[in-house]
Amino acid sequence: MKKIRISIIGFGVIGSGVAKVISKKRDYIKHRHGIDLELVGIGERNGGIACEDGVDPIEAYNLAKTKEMEKHPCWKEEMNGINVIREVNADIVVETTPTNIDSGEPGLSHMMTAFKNKRHVVTSNKGPLAVAYKELIKTAEENDVQFRFEASVGGAMPVFNLVRECLQANKILSIKGILNGTCNYILTRMSTEGMSYEHALSEAQELGIAETNPSYDVEGMDTACKLVILANEILGMDSTYKDVEIEGITGITIESLKLASDKGYTIKLIGEVEAEKLRVAPRLVPKDHPLAVGGTLNVMSLHTDLAGEITITGKGAGAIETSSSILSDVINIAKR
């Protein structure tokens, strides 16, 4: 049995969700893959937990839920994210701090510190990837560690691993899809229930899928970040967030959705990258088109030279769904 020690940096909805899923799936993963996942560190802004004999993931999850992490017997104020990464002997750092698309921080420093301390990194955090993709990949390579980020785009929907494993012989020519669950939810509720934009947005916030600042979702920035990550990793581009032409969904009215519907269309916020051009904008999509998925779903079509069009869909947000991709990356690294 191979033991893999994990530190989680950023113990909010996603980070604590990963702990919960580690607890739930630990026996299954031992049995199925011969890998024992042990949580040894948790880093937050105001302190953290370092315990090389193992932290009980459920105890930590419950304390995170009631915002009482400092009540954990091993909690130390000086053990913030950076110190946990440096000092706790973890094989893999799971970085799940909130996305910051301006500077990428604090995630960017966490990832760089992890690489320089020879730790592999798995993340769902889009910010660092959208502002410093090349630098991150280079630093991971220089330190001979792995860097995986399946959860950063499309939540549970596998795209990077799909391309890496199953489409290896293909050149990917373009990518197009719905990459933001919050916008898809709002547009779906407005169009099928006639619900107001404000009401639908507050429902999306209640579902816990919207960003802390929901303007990131509705103004298209979240989709743009994901598009940049896809363009760089899959199409080999060197783009940043600033290269994306962005229009969000705040101008879409119930009337325009109704008008589209009467003609057999729906309106979706589509991100697309083709011929080095990155664009996010509301688009008319025929109701029976594969991209016309509803609710919180994400969907992506990859245009490839050998396999033709490959379309994938799945839940693009949510702690448990995102943990599915994070653990897939963790297991992949452990197997290597």
CB of 248 to ligand HSE, least distance (A): 12
| Active-site residue, selected from the candidate residues 226, 287, 315, 335 | 226
Q: Is 123 in the site for ligand HSE (CB under 6 A)?
A: no
Q: Is 325 in the site for ligand HSE (CB under 6 A)?
A: no
Count Cα neighbours of 14 within 13 Å in the Cβ-side half-sphere: 32
Q: Is 321 in the site for ligand HSE (CB under 6 A)?
A: no
CB of 304 to ligand HSE, least distance (A): 24
| Sites for ligand HSE among residues 127-156 (CB under 6 A) | 155
Structure tokens at 117: 């301390």
CB of 205 to ligand HSE, least distance (A): 10
Q: Clarify whether 30 is annotated catalytic.
A: no
Question: CB-wise, 33 or 283, nearer to ligand HSE?
Answer: 283
Give the residue among 204, 228, 220 at the shortest CA–CA distance from 317: 204
Q: Which of 95, 150, 217, 329 binds ligand HSE (CB under 6 A)?
A: 217
292-296 own/partner pairs: CB under 8 Å, 24+ apart: 292/266, 292/268, 293/178, 293/184, 294/184, 294/188, 294/192, 295/184, 295/185, 295/188, 296/181, 296/182, 296/184, 296/185, 296/204, 296/207, 296/209
Q: Which residues make Cβ contacts (< 8 Å) with residue 27, sequence separation at least 6?
A: none
Question: CB-wise, 106 or 181, nearer to ligand HSE?
Answer: 181
Cα 201 to the center of its chain, rounded Å: 20
Q: In this chain, which stretch among 100-108, 157-165, 180-188, 283-291 interacts with ligand HSE, using CB under 6 A?
A: 180-188
| Sites for ligand HSE among residues 153-172 (CB under 6 A) | 155
Q: Is 177 in the site for ligand HSE (CB under 6 A)?
A: no
Q: How many residues bind ligand HSE (CB under 6 A)?
A: 11
In the sheet with 47-50, reading across from the earlier edge strand, the strands are 75-76, 47-50, 35-44, 2-9, 92-95, 120-123, 147-148
Residues labelled as active-site residues: 226
Question: Which residues sit at the interface with ligand HSE, rule CB under 6 A?
Answer: 155, 180-182, 209-211, 217, 222, 316-317
